[in-house]
Chain A
Amino acid sequence: MPISRDDVIAWLSVYGQLLEDHREYLTQLDSSIGDADHGVNMDRGFKAVLGKLPTVADKDIGTILKSVGMTLVQTVGGASGPLYGTFFLQAGAATANKMELSLAEWASAVEGAINGLMARGKANIGDKTMVDALVPALHALKQAIADGIDEHEALRQSASAAEQGMKNTIPLVAKKGRASYLAERSAGHQDPGATSSYLMFKAMVDAWTK
């Protein structure tokens, strides 16, 4: 299953739609432990991304992803701006001049992106952040590819690992970001960043397996 430039655009569009659909939900999660702007910020960022896509839709995958990264950096406003921005810029760097990717190449680009994001946020697994959804999703994807599993199934496993990771953030105590100010009181709430990260993997399933 090669992933084409148009597939990437389709994925971004689906992710944008999911963010719009979940805007209130993300904001509500954020209002419990953060500053109640995650849904609004991500939706605004991706609206800008989708508005800009037509201008780069004829470019290579790397250029498209870099453009997404720069747009997010300038429009999201909150911490997710530089974090997702870094994610997409790194992914773009790994896919420069590519018009098509194998799933393994995609997984490797995602891996570079997650590493960049972790370096930027200085967060680790268990800190109650997006990393808690992203890292399990990446591991599941790589494992599935290594196991030679059907590629659609691999994407589904990856997304469900992200979902599990997202749910696992509920009992955790936040170590990073605004939520960390709440210390023990942040436990019992699902992390909004992990939630939007899960949606990113869900968008791959929705865009590429149907």
Chain B
Amino acid sequence: MVGIVLVSHSSLLAAGIVEMARMVMQQAPVPIAVAAGADDPEHPLGTDAAKIRRAIEEVYSDDGVLVLMDLGSAILSAEMAVDFLPEDKRANVRLCAAPIVEGAIAAVVQASLGASLDRVEAEALGSLAGKSESLSNHVYAAVSEALAPSAGAAVRALEIQLTVTNRLGLHARPAALLVQTAGRFRSDIRIARAGQAARQVNAKSFNAVASLGIRQHEVITVAARGPDAAEALAALQQLAAEKFGESDELPEASQAAPPVSGGEAPAGALRGAAASPGYAIGPAVMLRQVEPQVERRPIDDPDAEMSRLRAALDAVRESTRSLRDQVARQHPYEAAIFDAYLMFLDDPEVLTRVQRMIEEERVNAEWAWRKTVDESARAFEAIEDEYMRARAVDIRDIGAQVLSRLTGQTRSGSIDQAGILIAPDLSPSETAYLDRTAVLGICTERGSPSSHSAILARTLGIPAVTGVGAAIARIHPGTTLVVDGYEGLVWIAPDDQVVADYTERRAQWQAAREQARQSSAMPAITKDGAHIEVAANIGSLADAHAAVEHGADGVGLLRTEFLFLNRTAAPDEDEQYETYAAIARVMEGRPVIVRTLDVGGDKPLAYIPLGREENPFLGQRAIRLCLNQPDLFATQLRAILRASAGHRLKVMFPMIADIGELRRARAILGAVADGLRAQSVPMADSIEVGMMVEVPSAALLAHVFAPEIDFFSIGSNDLIQYTLAAERGNAAVVHLQDGLHPAVLVQIQHVVQSAQRAGKWVSVCGELAADHDAVPVLIGLGIQKLSMSPGAIPQVKELIRRLTLAEARQWASQALTMESAEAVRRFIRSRQEALAEG
């Protein structure tokens, strides 16, 4: 693999580039070495030829080394470093004229694909194309065109369309993954914005893909031509379904931001950005904001100032955490906004700057804090990216909260009456504190639809229009306003006709919202009357709230690992009991399946020594570990059984591979239950016990297990991984990780048939359960319960309501006879399309 050397005057710059490069380098680690900075702490900027030579040697192989440098002496020193190398190595070292940041990212992506030195260098040299293109300077377009391989026009291309759902669009990381995936195939693969086929680019070129600047919700057309075109498209489709490796990113607020509407505002209205949909009518009310006054004061005791600051930071951290938890109860994802605040409060860089100012300039903590916050916020405001600029508001907000603690002055005011809130801008905490019953709508002078406060307004369901501009000053308190959060319009003192029109629209909007809320909570019943339970996979108390919010019929998988990871001692029985009981209470009588601890060499626990395993996925994990740690296991089982009192809890054992494991686990459970009963500890009279089917041996021998359990839950992620010997998270084998593979379906069929004969039921709790192609097949195979991440529930319920069990059975039996996952997927899609048309 080609190695990369970064030469910079600044070690900070080089470290930053390495950090960015690691983001795009997914699986195959590219050797990167850095030669940056001088060893003089007084003057840390500089370059050093000897250091560069060492860096080159460090990553050198006969595949070659690409050296990227910043400017001036970096170039001279790099040239000199090459002269220092032994003759035979020099030819394999290339000094690259590409800009260092763009060039490094492009080079790392290509290198991780195993490209040749020539190719890596060409890609780096073309790396300005994306930026140049988006800044309307087409000088570099020719370069990226030159990089595109010629298309074999004779062969017809296969085409698919993919929707990009990633919040930031196809930015660096997802684009890199797309390029890497495309790069595995021999076919010529091109992508373009849907409807812009003329501007197709090479999907194997990071620069070219990034230059498209695909944003969230845009549709791309992928065309592949060549011997493995179909496989390539399937892999890319899978990748898109997994949000290009960002499936763990925060889901969007339940209602997406509508696009900013253009055009002139009608007479009598102001136009802004439609930040949160809905309609509101009411008088204008003002939010009074008083920023704390800060004066520069000379001080004698810097330590005293620092301890005042620390106390203020502690207090704000505490209140932010509590606010976070409060929001989390209803809006777990939006609560993450407050994590950004906490990060700023804990930022060592910020604290160091403030401390230095206090010590060196002998100024009061307020002054030093405000100056530092201002600088940080301005740095964000200077970034040419709306999302990053919105972060400046967050920083100013949290900064002001610390200031009001320091000064003892209270900051934000309240509103006097119900109405439409008018404000210059709203911070997330202000938005979160809004009295939902008093604030009918929001209208702000500044702010954008991607600001945190807009996201919060959407989750709170408050119609909002942001960025109305200075004209907002014309609005007097008490003036009647109409907020149109769909069109981004604010009507000032509208006439009766407009008011009547919007009163009608508001009524319809509220009715529709109520219906949507109710329908996600309604059961999912197929057109021919089969009831399929749709449950949630959760891993925290906050997730439980999200599950209810999204209409989950229960919890199909409670991952208990969250209680055990990242701590130095195991949680005691009481702590576990409280948590399981709290989750059960949130689920309000819905069934909750508690999976016992599933950790192992890949998720080590500090308090359980585990030997290093060559292959932790095939090692001592899950039930295997618990059976070797009987105290740990018994404690968890006691907590679960105690929490079962008054709740519908079920116990499930993970990763059972052999009947002996199941029997030992059940024996421990029985002993624990006997012990509790002997002490008259309350618990449910009977508790259902199930096992995960993740290991092919369990699937193949399901008929042996079925009589001894109450239910099976198929963990599709692991079952696929173990069946196809393709590790999850390894992008190089992602094409094998399709749960619609007949090898997986045949096992599921056997599990269901074995269960049915014994009168037991089967659920699927992996990602397959939320895969819209897979749902009809699973139902058709006889799965009665699907469990998935909460956000996926409403759509899967909708899908089930459009199906009939009879058809699903036919599709499933045909799928079982097919030869590949791809064939199954194609078949199911054609059926679903036919269904939609017919």
Contacts and interface: CB of A to CB of B under 8 A. Distances in A.
Interface of A: 37, 40-41, 44, 70, 73-83, 85-86, 120-121, 177-178
A81 B43 contact: no
* Most B-side CB within 10 Å, residue of A77, A79, A81, A120: A77
Contact of B72 (A74, A75, A79, A120): A79
A41 B80 contact: no
Contacts of A81: 46-49, 73, 76-77
Contacts of B76: 79, 81-83, 120-121
A178 B72 CA distance: 7
A37 B43 contact: yes
SS class, residues of chain B in contact with chain A: loop
Contact of A40 (B9, B43, B47, B48): B43
Contact of B51 (A37, A74, A85, A178): A74
Contacts of B38: 75, 77
Given A78-B72, A82-B79, A83-B76, A73 B49 contact: yes
B40 interface: yes
Contacts of A44: 40, 43
Given A73-B50, A82-B76, 11 more contacts: A40-B43, A73-B48, A73-B77, A75-B40, A77-B40, A77-B48, A81-B49, A82-B77, A120-B79, A177-B72, A178-B72
B115 interface: no
B49 A82 contact: yes
Contacts of A76: 46
Contacts of B40: 44, 75, 77
Contacts of A178: 72
Max count, chain B CB within 10 A of own CB: residue among A40, A82, A121, A177: A82
Interface centre among B39, B51, B73 (most CB of A within 10 A): B73
Nearest to B47: A77
A121 B72 CA distance: 10
B89 to A, nearest CB: 19
B675 to A, nearest CB: 71
B746 to A, nearest CB: 66
A85 B51 CA distance: 14
A129 to B, nearest CB: 12
A85 to B, nearest CB: 7
B69 to A, nearest CB: 12
A80 B46 CA distance: 11
Contacts of B51: 74
Given A82-B73, A177-B72, A77 B80 contact: no
A56 to B, nearest CB: 17
A52 B51 CA distance: 19
A86 B83 CA distance: 10
B80 A86 contact: yes
Interface in B52-81: 72-73, 76-77, 79-80
A175 to B, nearest CB: 14
B54 to A, nearest CB: 11
Contacts of B46: 41, 76-78, 81
Nearest to A121: B76
A120 B838 CA distance: 75
B787 to A, nearest CB: 60
B82 to A, nearest CB: 11
A123 B46 CA distance: 21
A122 B76 CA distance: 10
Interface of B: 9, 38-40, 43, 45-51, 72-73, 76-77, 79-80
Contacts of A70: 50
A209 B254 CA distance: 86
Given A40-B43, A120-B80, A74 B73 contact: no
Nearest to B53: A73
Contact of A79 (B48, B50, B73): B73
Contacts of B43: 37, 40-41, 44, 77
A100 B348 CA distance: 58
Contact of B49 (A80, A85, A177): A85
B468 to A, nearest CB: 42
20 contacts: A37-B43, A37-B45, A40-B43, A74-B49, A74-B50, A77-B47, A77-B48, A77-B73, A78-B46, A78-B47, A79-B76, A82-B49, A82-B76, A82-B77, A82-B80, A85-B49, A85-B80, A86-B80, A121-B76, A178-B72
Residue from A73, A75, A76, A80 whose CB has the most chain B CB atoms within 10 Å: A73
Contacts of B80: 73, 82, 85-86, 120
B78 to A, nearest CB: 9
B43 to A, nearest CB: 6
Contacts of A40: 43
A77 B70 CA distance: 13
A86 B79 CA distance: 11
- 10 smallest A-B Cβ distances: which pairs? A77-B46, A79-B73, A82-B76, A77-B38, A73-B49, A82-B80, A82-B77, A74-B50, A78-B73, A74-B48
Contacts of A121: 76
A86 B84 CA distance: 11
A81 B76 CA distance: 9
A58 B46 CA distance: 31
A1 B39 CA distance: 40
Nearest to A119: B79
Nearest to A70: B50
A40 B9 CA distance: 15
B336 to A, nearest CB: 42
Contacts of A77: 9, 38, 40, 43, 45-48, 73
Contacts of B9: 77
Nearest to A71: B50
A179 B73 CA distance: 13
A75 B40 CA distance: 8
B807 to A, nearest CB: 71
A177 B73 CA distance: 8
Contacts of A37: 43, 45
Contacts of A78: 46-47, 72-73
A92 to B, nearest CB: 14
A108 B69 CA distance: 34
A65 to B, nearest CB: 16
A37 B9 CA distance: 13
A172 to B, nearest CB: 19
A82 B49 CA distance: 7
Contacts of B50: 70, 73-74
B84 to A, nearest CB: 9
A77 B49 CA distance: 9
A70 B49 CA distance: 9
A115 to B, nearest CB: 14
Contacts of B77: 73, 81-82
B321 to A, nearest CB: 45
B8 to A, nearest CB: 12
A177 B9 CA distance: 14
A42 to B, nearest CB: 12
A81 B55 CA distance: 18
A120 B76 CA distance: 7
B516 to A, nearest CB: 59
A85 B46 CA distance: 14
Contacts of A177: 72
A75 B72 CA distance: 16
Contacts of B39: 75
A186 to B, nearest CB: 15
Contacts of A120: 76, 79-80
A40 B46 CA distance: 12
Contacts of A83: 76
A34 B40 CA distance: 20
B619 to A, nearest CB: 47
Nearest to B72: A79
Contacts of B79: 82, 120
A74 B54 CA distance: 12
Most buried by A among B39, B76, B79: B76
Nearest to A81: B73
Nearest to A178: B72
